[in-house]
Amino acid sequence: MSRLRSKRVRIGKYTLPALLLVSLAVGTVAAAAYVVLTWYMSLTVLASPRVHFWDGSSAANTMTITMNIFPDVRTIDEDAAWNIRSNGTGNIYIRVSAMDTADVAEVRIKAYVGATTLFDQAWSTSTTDWSGPYATTGSVASPAIYDLWIEVLGAGTAFGTTSITVDLKVESP
C-alpha cells in the first residue's frame, strides 16, 4: 500500500490530449446533427405541382371561370381556355370552392383527353371539403393534357356575368 502512495499520478500529461479528443468527438456529432437538421428544414413547396391547371401561359392550382349566364339556360364552353396538364402520374382532387348559387343552379365540368374521361362531375353548391358529394377525384397519366368541357346552368332569375372558382389538389405532389 505504501508503494502506491509513493507513486505520483500525472493527470496533466493526459489532460490536453483527452480534452482535444472529447471536444473533437462532440464537435463532430454536433456538426452532423446540424447538417441533418438543416437539410430537413430547407424543403421547398412548389406552387404548381406535377398536375395543375394550365391556361396556355401559366400554371395554377385554382382557376376562375367567368361566363355570361341567363335564366334556366345552359351555357357551354366546349373548348375552355383552361385545361389540366400532367407532368406525372397520381390521384387528383377537384372541387368548386366558390360560386353564387343565386345565379348558378349547376356547374358541370368534364376533363378528357381523346376518348378517355378523367372525370365528369356536376356541382350545385360550392364546398371547402376535398371529399364527399361535392368533390371528385381522378387518376392522371403522364404526360397528358386534359381538355375541359364546362357547362353552367343559370338559376331562374340569373342574368349577367358570374364567376366560378375551381380548385385542384394532387394527392402527393
Q: Which of the four CATH numbers 1.10.287, 2.60.120, 2.60.60, 2.30.29 does domain 51-170 have?
A: 2.60.120
The pLDDT score that the predictor gives to residue 172 is: 64
Query: Cα separation of 35 and 148, whole Å?
Result: 46
The pLDDT score that the predictor gives to residue 81 is: 84
3 state SS of 15: helix
Tell me: the pLDDT tens digits for 8-63?
Answer: 656 566 666 776 777 777 667 666 666 555 544 555 555 557 888 998 888 889 99
Sole residue written with cell 362531375: 121
All structural domains of the chain with their residue ranges: 2-41, 51-170
Tell me: the pLDDT tens digits for 103-135?
Answer: 999 999 999 998 999 999 999 999 888 887 778
Tell me: the pLDDT tens digits for 92-104?
Answer: 899 999 999 999 9
Q: How far is CA 173 from CA 41, 50, 112, in A?
A: 18, 6, 21
Q: What is the DSSP letter of 148?
A: E
Query: Which of 42, 45, 100 has the alpha carbon at shortest distance from 67?
Result: 100
